[in-house]
Structure 1
Amino acid sequence: MEILGYIGAMIVGVSLGLLGGGGSILAVPLFVYLFQVPATEATTYSLFVVGFASLIGFLQAFRADRVDLKAGFAFAVPSIIGMTVVRRFILPLIPGEWIWGEFQFSKDGLILVSFAVVMVAAATAMLRSKTETFHVLSKNRLALIIKAFGVGSVTGFVGAGGGFLIVPTLVSIFGLNMRRATGTSLGVIAITSFSGFFGDVLVGRPLDFFLLGSVTALSVIGILIGIVLGKQVTDQKLKPAFGVFVLIAGAAIIFKQVML
């Protein structure tokens, strides 16, 4: 299973290199199902892998002048606050076992179901037409703060970046085009994910740094491979196919946790 996990880590990187995003949504299932890491701890590992991969993408976007630092900073601050609130105060309050109607969940099961819902939402965003546009709204600071806080909260709970939530907000409130919004969102994801990861480290959460380093290194190798392949293959067909795969994987996780 560990060998499959390391192969999976490289596949995550290849998908990131090919598509410029989305592959990190597979990080939590990778740690949980192939490395047998409890879901609560897997979110910590995922935050680092997601943050590191997003940082690489952000630096590329920054060099290509596809980043709006002011918009990114305005989004990142409330997002980090949401991340901190969830990981420091909400997660510790969730009981190890709880019952909702006929269903009985463990804390890890709740996190996995929540993460699977995020996977389905992300897959839906990938399958939407790239020509979709968002109406530009007034620069409503309250709306921005609420959405950014919500994205940080989701990221903190499930260990996923939430780019599919960030991009529409940057477009609708700041009027950024899709390319600049995507590049800017990578920076927001990176700083939010790293804040969550290092927050866990500071409170003494035990981590297997060899596992974390190995998965991250293989993901980076995969990213470099994906970038090379991406110069020869467009993502018009790859992104919908990957979206279908993520959709199926998310549905399978929900079925496994709820029905079995």
Structure 2
Amino acid sequence: MWAVSLGLIIGLSLGLTGAGGGILAVPALMFGLGLTLPQAAPIALIAVGAAALVGVLQALRDGKVRYKAAAVMAVAGGITSPLGLWATHFADPYWLNICFAVVLFLVALRMWHQTRKQQSLPMNDTSPLPAKVCVLSPTSGKFIWTLATAITLAGIGAVAGFFTGLLGIGGGFIIVPALAYFSNAKMDNIVPTSLMVIALVSATTVVSAFSHGLAITAPQWLFISCTMLGMVGGRLIAPRIPAPLWQRLFAVVCTIVAVVLLAR
């Protein structure tokens, strides 16, 4: 029951936000299935990566994925994610748990601040938008590639990849706000592009984990399967749920999980 329910919730979260699955998958495995953080990280990556792949396949049909940008971020993340995984073998689990709780708090704060910012904007705001480093062409809807664009996207991917390996989180909590800050892309482009990066970087890290002797039990496989199923549901109902409502709920959940993690 724990594997099924937690898997569905994580997949649903990932499908709705493009950023929330991995950040909750690790504590879900720790609390629900009794794993330690180093044990939970690769299982979470398999679940989140597989679910993200399902979401990407859905979005590719609609032409929403900026796959060249995703490829640049994934290559950079694929280089740094094994470094993060390597660091887990030397880091004290106590400090890894604290680091994870801090990340949860920061994600919750960003989500809550984002909803307040959205509500404070006038309905008919015509003020000019600030200049962005990564710009989508108004005609093709694709990124206009410059050296600054490539460096910025590679930097986002590198940071996300390191945290993917270190904490077993998909990296979407870095990719989604970073793309929103550095580009003029809308969320219907950002979320599926983030999912593609998560799928590719997770695959690189998971291969490294299997090479170090990773073994998966039946309840863990059940968790992975239900996460993929939850992703399908999340992508289907995402257009029907107001973004601020879901973001605030997600922020509250992240805060509660962080407090419980620190209490342990």
Question: Shorter-chain TM-score category?
Answer: 0.7 to 0.9
What's the CA shift string for 1:114-152, capped at 9, x where partnerless? 452454256347635399977421641443333321111
Equivalent pair of 1:55/1:187 in contact (CA under 8 Å) = yes
Letter in 1 for 2:202: S
Bigger RCO (CA 8 Å, 6+ sep): 2
Letter in 2 for 1:212: Q
The 5 Å alignment of 1:1-260 reads: 3-17=1-15, 19=16, 21-24=18-21, 25-88=23-86, 90-96=87-93, 106-107=94-95, 109-117=97-105, 119-120=107-108, 123-124=111-112, 127=115, 129=118, 135-137=131-133, 139=146, 140=148, 141-170=150-179, 176-205=185-214, 207-227=215-235, 230=237, 234-236=240-242, 239-258=243-262
State percent identity of aligned pairs.
Answer: 23
TM-score normalised by length of structure 1: 0.78
Equivalent pair of 2:73/2:154 in contact (CA under 8 Å) = yes
Do the aligned partners of residues 259 and 221 (structure 1) sit closer, same or farther apart at CA in structure 2, a change above 3 Å counting?
closer
What's the CA shift string for 1:216-245, capped at 9, x where partnerless? 2222333344455x28x7121xx4343333
1:129 is paired with a residue whose SS is helix
Equivalent pair of 2:54/2:231 in contact (CA under 8 Å) = no
Equivalent pair of 1:115/1:158 in contact (CA under 8 Å) = no
RMSD over equivalenced CA pairs, Å: 3.0
What's the CA shift string for 1:38-79, capped at 9, x where partnerless? 111111111011101111111111111112222111111111
Equivalent pair of 1:9/1:218 in contact (CA under 8 Å) = yes
Q: Which runs of 5+ in 1 are unaligned?
A: 97-105
TM-score normalised by length of structure 2: 0.77
State how far apart, in whole Å, the 2-side matches of 1:125 and 1:154 are: 22
Letter in 1 for 2:219: L
The Cα shift of 1:186 comes to 1.2
2:63 is paired with a residue whose SS is coil
Equivalent pair of 1:5/1:30 in contact (CA under 8 Å) = no
Q: Which runs of 5+ in 2 are unaligned?
A: 122-128, 135-145
